[in-house]
Structure 1
């Protein structure tokens, strides 16, 4: 999963709207506002990380997202 994957871009866009549309790179307060909105959005949707399925396979980095 990278910042270029469509679900990640969609989630970031939703968080940006919830934060008032202020670009998070303008200043520290904007970054905090965006981060807070992103965190609240993730919690509200029950998204959590879990041990990646490739964790037990050597040289297989990965990350899984667990939905409710």
Structure 2
């Protein structure tokens, strides 16, 4: 399975990005919670990647983000 990129938002509004591997031996939620604690993040949201009209790759918030955020 493909790795999932997550955005972790810190209390100061800055963001960190980490790849979560569903096949790593830990659940995705466990990995997300570990990264949240490691970075001191208040919000975690998965990103899905698409392409802009000029061919550049950009991160697009996934549908899960639209429904809410994960808290740790």
Q: Which has the larger radius of gyration?
A: 1
Query: Which protein is richer in strand relative to its size?
Result: 2
Same fold (TM over 0.5): no
State TM-score, norm by structure 2.
Answer: 0.29
State TM-score, norm by structure 1.
Answer: 0.30
Q: Higher RCO, 1 or 2 (CA under 8 Å, sep at least 6)?
A: 2
